[in-house]
Amino acid sequence: MDQFLRFPGFKLKALTLSYDDGTIHDRRLVSIMKKYGIKGTFNLNSNINFRPNPNKISLEEAYELFTDAGCELAVHGVEHLSLVEVAEPIMARDVLEDRVAMEKVAGHIIRGMAYANGSFNDKVVEVLRMCGIAYSRTTHSTEKFAMPEDWLRLDPTCHHDNPRLFDLLDEFLNYKADPKGYYWRYKPALFYVWGHSYEFNNKNNWERIEAFCEKAGGHDDIWYATNIEIYEYVEAYRALVFSADGTLVYNPTATEVYINYFGKEFTIAPHSTVKIK
């Protein structure tokens, strides 16, 4: 499905981070990410982040902090519930109340999420879909860079404490289009790292994420994006309509899409049809 997909600027690779719980250590993490041009998504529990707590940042501070760094504010459950352990109405409340609180602060629609405690099943996915959630991240690391097949079961590449983190990063950085033109062998790659910022403080290993961001940032062939930006772009690509003979492609969305079609690059403007063969 994603054979012809290229990220903005015809880039083959995208990188994003996802961090949970909205603790005060997000401040330091955001400053590191911003320093190296890394973007990502922060998943908060609005009820918990509204309560006075010296270890938490408020929703208002979180939104300003993340927005200034080009990052995304997303749902993590109003009370951080393990959703498989509660009834469906409580699942829906935990998700919807978090959305409502965050949207009031942010002033825009919020559709991203990460599962609290990594807790989900088919019923949870069904409820999330009804609650208007576009994607939700799991805690299951694949150690791969494949594009998501099911956005409500969005598996990351790895946790930041994965022993292979830097080996995976080297593999990702070395992944490039074949100069001989074997374009069909090279599908788009997504490197997705997750965790909690307080883990760096607890383990006194802030140098780990600093080293990762320094090495991962600043590459012209990588698109640095938030989770929702990647979701919206890939879904725009997947909405493209190709003619029966493969000579035309129509973009019905409001997003400019980049493709590599049998070795040739094309930009498909919003609501336009392009001759590609």
> How do residues 144-191 score in pLDDT, each as one tens digit?
999 999 999 999 999 999 999 999 999 999 998 765 556 556 789 999
Considering the chain, what percentage of its residues have pLDDT values greater than 90? 90
Query: Which contiguous run of DSSP H or E holds residue 93?
Result: helix 88-106
136-149: average pLDDT: 97
pLDDT at 242 over 60: yes
> Over the chain, what is the mean pLDDT?
95
Instruction: Tell me what pLDDT residue 219 has.
Output: 98
Nearest to 20 by CA among 118, 94, 100: 118
Each residue of 48-66: pLDDT tens digit? 666 668 899 999 999 999 9
Q: Helices 26-36 and 59-68 meet at what angle, rounded to 10?
A: 10
What residues does each domain of the chain span?
11-238, 241-277
Task: Give 183 or 272, the one with higher predicted confidence.
Answer: 272
The single residue listed with the structure tokens 């404490």 is: 161
Residue 94, class by beta-carbon neighbours within 10 Å (0-12 exposed, 13-18 middle, 19+ buried)? buried
How far apart (Å, rounded) are the C-alpha atoms in residues 255 and 233? 7
**Residue-level pLDDT at 195:** 98
- At the topology level, CATH places domain 11-238 in TIM Barrel (3.20.20)
